[in-house]
Amino acid sequence: MTGRAGRHDPIEILLVEDSPGDVRLTREALREAKVANRLHVVGDGAEALDFLARRGRHAAAPRPDLILLDLNLPKIGGREVLASIKGDEDLKRIPVIVLTTSDAEADILDSYGLHANCYLVKPVDVDRFFEQVRTIEGFWLSIVKLPVASQSGSAAA
């Protein structure tokens, strides 16, 4: 696993989202993105944790460079997924972007309290949604300098 070390490899993005409509919209938006990316989609929190731990049918899953996390998920909710990721020595370095419809103060506070890297409210307007995905992609995948991913979490740099 080399992560983003080689600039030519596509970026691995994990989208945790249960609504097929939103998945498709995100996919469409990312298709127009500049950076080559590969989108992995899981429909609930339990599967997200399986993906990250490479359990079951996700045994061959790559380590994502970026996680887009919805808060309202079946089985295991977005908050628990966020807590598990940020509680894991290795996984906590992966930037997690909470992407949800809720603009409730409590959700925003909770998410940052659990060390979400940023919190975004999905715009209702499709043009603005595309714009938002482009911004995420541009900022997190092109501008921000992230640690080189490693499996143990101690072999960074």
Candidate segments 38-46, 61-69, 83-91, 125-133, binder of another protein by CB under 8 A: 125-133
Q: Starting from the edge strand earliest in sequence, which strands make up the sheet with 37-42, in order?
A: 37-42, 11-16, 66-69, 96-100, 118-121
Is residue 2 part of the contact set for another protein (CB under 8 A)? Answer: no
Instruction: Kindly tell me which residue out of 36, 109, 126, 148 binds another protein, with binding defined by CB under 8 A.
Output: 126
Structure tokens at 12: 């691995």
| Interface positions, 29-88, toward another protein (CB under 8 A) | none
- Pick the piece of the chain touching another protein (CB under 8 A) from 38-46, 52-60, 87-95, 119-127: 119-127
CB of 124 to another protein, least distance (A): 5
Does residue 106 belong to the site contacting another protein (CB under 8 A)? no
Size of the site for another protein (CB under 8 A): 12
Contacts for 74 with CB less than 8 Å, ≥ 6 apart? 18, 43, 44, 45
Nearer CB in complex with another protein: 126/148: 126
Nearest-angstrom CA–CA distance, 69 and 16: 5
Considering only CA atoms, which of 87, 72, 93 is closest in space to residue 16?
72
